[in-house]
Structure 1
Amino acid sequence: MSMRVNHCRVRAAGTLLVAAAMSAAVAGCGEQPQKSAHGADPGIGHIHGLGVDPADGALYVAGHYGLFKVKNGTQAERVAGRVQDHMGFTVAGPRTFLASGHPGEAAVDAAPHLGLIRTTDAGQSWTTVSEAGTADFHALQPAGEALYAYDSQSGRLRRSTDGGQTWTQGAEEKVIDLAAGADEPTTVYATTPEGVKVSGNGGMEFDPVAGAPLLSHLDQPAKGFLVGTGADGLLHTSGDGGKTWRNGGKLPGAAVAFTAIHTKRLLAATEDGTVLESKDGGETFATVFRSANG
């Protein structure tokens, strides 16, 4: 049964929770990932993104110390041995990923911001698409012909219709996460400390989504269908573009990364390096990976 959340009652406490989620989301921002003084492998570090490669169904974890392919419940392999911070990450197609962030310590002459980078071989190699040295995209969201990105350096949303080669500057917002779909490429949702907002003109202007729960992460796996999580770990779904909302299951903690593969299959990561999966639209979650040194 659909229900409207009493937004006023949760606003004060929720704002603090989402602000905490935003702080977690920018952990490591501006810092090049480095190995320990003793040369020990630093592990995944803070998890920034999750995705499933449609080419083979493999689960990928994008972290502060590289992109990792999950092998089993306790093991993940750093792709190509590359230490590189992926502040933003999304799967754009089979073996094709987009990312942003910061280079590792091995890239001694590299600029501190990667701009938009792209791989077509599942992370074995990356090429720069645009904005190298200037943009640090903390959120990346494909939407059919459009690509949305939130640049932490300028504090503005960006929109591209040529795969990220050129950009249109959008609204200035404190964005935590973005959601959009191919069916409505000019409509984009954003989670912010003030609440969920929506733009119907490609990110040029945003308006509050009246009655929406306060969310840290949000995704739109189907037309009109929104699913997200609050900073308290509670799942919320809407089947009518945000007009009404239904409470779902609950994560064991606040999500630091979240994505919907489709309306029933959801992935979330928590601060302790645990990756959880739901196959029933967020009613229940099971652990699929736990990082030993996340």
Structure 2
Amino acid sequence: MDTTDRRFTPVLYALAASALLLTAACGGATPTTEAASGQTTGTAGAAGAAGAADAADPGIGHVHAVDVDPSDGSVYLAGHYGLFKVTSKTEAVRVADLVQDNMGFTVIGPKTFLASGHPSAEDVQAGKPHHLGLIRSADAGLTWTTVSEGGKADFHSLQPAGSELYAFDSQTGRVRRSQDEGRTWEIGAQAKVIDLAAHADEPRRVYATTPEGLTVSEDGGATFTTAAGAPALAMVDSPAKGTLTGVAPDGAVHVSEDAGRTWTSPGRLPAPPSSFNAEGRQHLLATLEDGTAVESKDGGRTFTVVFQPSASSHSSH
């Protein structure tokens, strides 16, 4: 195991460095539309549509997260230039013409999403703060409302676990825990977190991938210790109690059925990942660095393409 760790640690440091560069790049804003009303962070409007028509569409950009809406099984890609709904293997539609940068994204129920990141350049120029804090949508991304930390937090990882919600705030470098759906937060450990994982049946146990390797907390994110013997993972998820599924920087899939004590590697992604999500033990989703989305229905042994980007594969609705 030591050999594996030495081989992948520089890659994990490179991945973390890339994440920091993305943070710096995304600290400015990205193009999008104005807010609909009240605290809603944005929907399409006439001015926004006109602006979009005047400028070349930026596309999806780097994909930060991938998830599934249980209301209809649709796959969503949270990208640098908006939230996209995959409608076919060759098309992904930008939801509500909103071009905000979704650094963190998760689906918590039918048509119910949480996200974080940065508003558009236009919104910032109009006076909006650079950080969205935690935002919530109850209509599959058509409209968003601020839940907490607007203008302050930039959550790069959002992980629901039953009544708990975990997040990593890139602005403070701290893991956070909420017991009221993100309205208030407990401040946890400081760490260089790449990804978080937790499960509803064990909500106080939370895992974090870091440049130094996989770590685990048994106290709700207040403290973390190294997960001994774990492979170097870029992203990790917990699709069932005691089960961990993750991907290495080179795309290798790793699975533990005993809370990280032993691991198997059933297969690998066709290329290095940009995001990963275990919908269940068998159902895995990932995006690759070129924006391709892939899916496994056999626990990571094989993957098929869900979406393949091209110059004309995205549109705005």
Shorter-chain TM-score bucket reads over 0.9
The separation in 1 between residues aligned to 2:252 and 2:15, in whole angstroms, is 13
1:240-292 alpha-carbon deviations (Å, 9 max, x no partner): 00000001211122111000111100000111111110000001111110122
What is the Cα deviation at residue 13 of structure 1?
Answer: 2.6
The question of 1:260 aligning with 2:254 is answered no
What is the Cα deviation at residue 52 of structure 1?
Answer: 0.4
The separation in 2 between residues aligned to 1:31 and 1:74, in whole angstroms, is 30
**Greater helix content:** 2
AA matched with 1:49: A
Q: Percent of aligned pairs with the same residue?
A: 55
In structure 2, the gaps of 5 or more residues are: 33-51
Partner of 1:68: 84
Q: TM-score, normalised by structure 1?
A: 0.95
What is the Cα deviation at residue 29 of structure 1?
Answer: 3.0
The question of 1:19 aligning with 2:13 is answered yes
The question of 1:78 aligning with 2:94 is answered yes
**Secondary structure in structure 1 of the residue aligned to 2:61:** coil
Partner of 1:166: 184
Query: Is the 2:28–2:121 contact (alpha carbons within 8 Å) kept by the matching residues of 1?
Result: no
1:167-222 alpha-carbon deviations (Å, 9 max, x no partner): 00000000000000000111000000001000000000001110000000000010
Partner of 1:182: 200
Structure 1 runs of 4+ off > 6 angstroms?
none
RMSD over aligned Cα atoms: 1.5
**Secondary structure in structure 2 of the residue aligned to 1:166:** coil
Partner of 1:106: 122
What is the Cα deviation at residue 34 of structure 1?
Answer: 3.2
In structure 1, the gaps of 5 or more residues are: 1-5
The separation in 1 between residues aligned to 2:232 and 2:116, in whole angstroms, is 26
Q: TM-score, normalised by structure 2?
A: 0.88
**Secondary structure in structure 2 of the residue aligned to 1:76:** strand
Correspondence 1:204-243 to 2 at 5 A: 204-243=222-261
Pick from 273, 277, 280: which aligns with 2:298?
280
1:17-68 alpha-carbon deviations (Å, 9 max, x no partner): 11222234452431211389x7100010000011100001111000000001
AA matched with 1:14: F
The question of 1:55 aligning with 2:67 is answered no
